[in-house]
Structure 1
């Protein structure tokens, strides 16, 4: 099957896969529709079998890292890392809600940068909500900080977001060079998100906390040292051309060693924390998106993507990526745009600004946002109108600011 018919069939399968992933009826894994859809595009000849195998081989290391870092984040949480950091943030805030917001923004940005956005959504958000409840302050600004920084705070490192991992190879940059170029955009986003939340939720942030911060528990020193060493090993692994999945796996082993002595290891639970269903979904979605792009969409995007690296060109590309992310979710948007910009680091990084910052405009823009909303207690769930009003008011400004910062970094650091 080729031509317009193949394009339509592949597009329908993509929509069905994404729609099921968004809704997840009865908690059924995202892979339940995406995997059969990927098989179908191969059986129908929309994607040749050898091309599908090449796609799976190409994305295999990326998905392996995703599974390893999810387990690593879970082990950090069980070791008390997030509880300790949340209590420290509350203590340093002195019961002042605006100061606490700054602490939460910084903590969420750091967690996202080092442990991926999933750790911020799944592991940090409950700690932040519990901290707000103990201080008797409105939880909304702090809950929003977690989801906003889970997306826009993922600009810094190749390991911060699945979109970054996908783009890392296409950019042709070292781990260190990637981080150096994205440091300024990341800092601009952290400051911009704090300012946006500070203004939008100024009523919730007025006054003082009604309760005193709890005492800070003893720091989980071993886990914190392993965390720092693991993040450093990502840089070293990249320098010697070793897949970052091995560094994440080594971190998992280091955290498990003390627990092996007490036989406090549950293998099947660790397998579950690796989210095999979501990993299969990512691989299957890559095949389905290939079916969409190879029959017309790739050529259409090629015509839309600017060829230069001026500020205007970078901004146009970031805006295109942001619009596409909110239309079809940031993961397929990344998969569709990367083949068009592969080999041009400036354009690849501009795409990442669009697919990482842009999804804060709407719920469907990022699977992480949808997961965040599902996990929130009923009393803390945001109103759709409020969420989208905040997003539409701030995201366009933040995309412009991040793109300007990238343009400056490209000239200051060079590629």
Structure 2
């Protein structure tokens, strides 16, 4: 492909990211990404290459739709409200205790139901809980936002970036989880410690007494989510697609809610967020055009190979930098194929950079932009968000990458 082809692809990539950042109903990101992909294919990317990229990404986008739907159905069962109420009761009247328990809750939700569930469904519940207990919202909102990114390392289903990385490496669900358990633990521990120190003054506040009454235990939702996660492990061991247990979980909750008229088909369609899947597919084609125009060669030259600690740290740092320059989703689409050629350790180090790095700027991930919109008046200014990220990201990135290196030695 001629070098000039980078220009239209770059324009469409920029337009797509601007649309995602604006988050306007009249111009959704898919409305820019899909036409952009079609125009790129018409003038800059051979049709077979575009089809190959769509085949690679389509299963991941489809799985994301199912997980989003599962999280929304669990929310309708009251799972998040119940979890927040339990968290508040166990925190007593300690703002610091609430932060610790919110950290555990956000980590669990991010790992099992994806960072999208944490941002969209858990964030408003945590904010409401902090306000009801009369403690500062800032530290609790910030820890949820940060952990939506940095606590998404554990399972393939935790983040779209993970799904793309697993698809590129061929790692099983169990093998991936085993390798990323230590990085996940290191990232959450460092993130929590630093945020607790940064917000230490806010956490001196004495909380109001939590309400003794709370929502009923959502037994069905808890059972379905737990069995779905077990199903992911079983499917991996049986060499079956992980989407199967997720679909089963969706069917159980959807049939119940449709039968009791607690939801409608149209609401389920909205919860599935099909436009986001189209956005991902369109973006994948646009990035493929940029790779053929020379981006792939450039990243190959920049990305270090090998499994030494220094090489892994360099790979994670490059990924974090690229994520904050162009957003972590296009960065993933561009970096993962290059990293896969260098080996699985490089892919996992890149993944740490792509997941932890976005906590540096709002532009780092789509989750950040959505989190800011969900927080509304409680959202910190861009300068404040980045000042916190300057403290947390380098140390969290280094700790998680060192933990990955250690896990690879075991």
- The change in CA–CA distance for 1:25 and 1:222 in structure 2 (over 3 A counts) is closer
Look up the match of 2:73. Answer: 75
Deviates more, 1:251-260 or 1:128-137: 251-260
**Contact kept in structure 2, 1:84 and 1:216, CA below 8 Å:** yes
Separation in 2, partners of 1:32, 1:362? 25
Residue 34 in 1 paired to residue 44 in 2? no
2:187 pairs with one of 186, 189, 192: 189
Look up the match of 2:374. Answer: 375
Q: Deviations over 1:242-283 (max 9, x none)?
A: 222222111011112333432334111111111111110000
Separation in 1, partners of 2:25, 2:339? 38
Separation in 2, partners of 1:190, 1:132? 21
Residue 365 in 1 paired to residue 339 in 2? no
Separation in 1, partners of 2:119, 2:273? 14
The runs of 5 or more residues in structure 2 that have no matched partner are: none
Where 2:171 maps in the other structure, the secondary structure is coil
Where 1:357 maps in the other structure, the secondary structure is helix
**Contact kept in structure 2, 1:94 and 1:213, CA below 8 Å:** no
Deviates more, 1:262-271 or 1:208-217: 208-217
**Contact kept in structure 2, 1:167 and 1:338, CA below 8 Å:** yes
Look up the match of 2:409. Answer: 411
1:293 pairs with one of 291, 299, 321: 291
Look up the match of 1:322. Answer: 320
Separation in 2, partners of 1:103, 1:27? 39
Where 2:153 maps in the other structure, the secondary structure is coil
Deviates more, 1:171-180 or 1:235-244: 235-244
Look up the match of 1:402. Answer: 400
Where 2:204 maps in the other structure, the secondary structure is coil
Look up the match of 1:25. Answer: 24
Separation in 2, partners of 1:248, 1:221? 18
Look up the match of 2:129. Answer: 131
Q: Deviations over 1:48-83 (max 9, x none)?
A: 111111111221111111101111000100101101
**Contact kept in structure 1, 2:78 and 2:215, CA below 8 Å:** no
Residue 160 in 1 paired to residue 147 in 2? no
Where 2:114 maps in the other structure, the secondary structure is helix
Separation in 2, partners of 1:170, 1:371? 27
2:84 pairs with one of 86, 110, 129: 86
- The change in CA–CA distance for 1:211 and 1:377 in structure 2 (over 3 A counts) is farther
Deviates more, 1:14-23 or 1:176-185: 14-23
Cα drift, residue 314 of structure 1:
0.3
Look up the match of 2:109. Answer: 111
Q: Deviations over 1:270-308 (max 9, x none)?
A: 111111111100000000000001111111111111121
Output aligned runs, 1:217-232, within 5 Å.
217-232=215-230
Look up the match of 1:240. Answer: 238
Where 2:156 maps in the other structure, the secondary structure is coil
**Contact kept in structure 2, 1:134 and 1:211, CA below 8 Å:** no
Residue 356 in 1 paired to residue 359 in 2? no
Deviates more, 1:164-173 or 1:287-296: 164-173
Cα drift, residue 26 of structure 1:
4.3
**Contact kept in structure 2, 1:91 and 1:215, CA below 8 Å:** no
Cα drift, residue 27 of structure 1:
5.4
Separation in 2, partners of 1:397, 1:381? 23
The runs of 5 or more residues in structure 1 that have no matched partner are: none
The two structures have a TM-score, normalised by structure 2, of 0.97
2:339 pairs with one of 330, 338, 341: 341
Cα drift, residue 320 of structure 1:
0.2
**Contact kept in structure 1, 2:258 and 2:264, CA below 8 Å:** no
1:51 pairs with one of 40, 49, 52: 49
Cα drift, residue 194 of structure 1:
0.9
Two-structure CA RMSD over aligned residues (Å): 1.2
